[in-house]
Amino acid sequence: MHIGQIHLVTDLTDGQRVFPDDDHSYQIQSEDDPSLDTTVEYVERRGDRLIARGLNGQDYAVSGLGRYELKTIRNWLRR
């Protein structure tokens, strides 16, 4: 399973991590902080939340209230 295949928190078991597929990467976006710019390393289920780990070493909730948005980036050069 890859990040793009997740639709619900329950698609993963607690502690399970999923990574981007070869054709896509993901960036974290925030309406409150337009300067936020980090690529997602993986998404992990922690309890009833999905948490994205940025390459900057920070964790971002991508489900539930107050969540950050994941923006899909197509990696054309990898094809």
Q: How many domains does the chain fold into?
A: 1
Residue 12, CA distances (Å) to 16, 32, 77 in order: 6, 28, 30
Over residues 41-71, the pLDDT tens digits come to 999 999 999 999 999 999 999 999 989 999 9
User: CA 70, CA 77: separation in Å to the nearest integer?
Assistant: 21
Residue 79 in this model has a pLDDT that exceeds 60: no
Range of the domain at 72: 3-78
Predicted TM-score (pTM) of the model is: 0.89
